Amino acid sequence: MAIRSSVGEPGHPALARHAESRAENVQNRIADAITRFAGSMWFVYISAIWFALWIGLRVERYPFGLLTMIVSLEAIFLSTFVMISQNRADEKRQVLADNQWEIVQAEEAQNEQLIQLSTQILELTKAIHELTVAHAQGTGNAALPPEPPSGS
């Protein structure tokens, strides 16, 4: 009876790195395994069979005080694992957000470089135009190239 995650391995490199770092901690691996099991249909089947056998075999008399205590403890632990799972999901979202922020910052820097290159190209184009006009006027050439559009 193998309990596998309903989702595959993370495809995003940042999530893969996060999963690897999470797997290094024994407590995280145990919490992940319990959460995986408690969130499966096997857990539901085993619990239903357990309760049915407990009541059917009359392990204790009604009102089932021990069973009630066991179920209460189970609920406490399961709610804790739900919160652990939510924290893990939040960590994954934060990893993705941080990675996206790094990408945005890199793109911003690249855009700044492209703007600087465009400005340099425009300045060089203007300088070439001025030299061409000056050269044409110096040689008496009447066919002058048109003015480049003025940029900003």
Ranking 19-23, 30-34, 42-46, 52-56 by mean pLDDT, the lowest is: 19-23
Q: What percent of the chain has pLDDT over 90?
A: 43
Q: Cα separations (Å) of 60 from 48, 75, 96, 146? A: 17, 20, 51, 101
Question: In a 10 Å sphere around its CB, with 0-12 CB exposed, 13-18 middle and 19+ buried, how is residue 18 labelled?
Answer: buried
* Residue with the larger pLDDT of the pair 60 and 150: 60
The three-state (H, E, C) secondary structure of 4-44, written as one string: CCCCCCCCCHHHHHHHHHHHCCHHHHHHHHHHHHHCCHHHH
Against a cut of 0.85, is the pTM above it? no
Nearest to 151, CA basis, from 106, 99, 102, 115:
115
The answer to whether 19 touches 10, Cβ cutoff 8 Å, is: yes
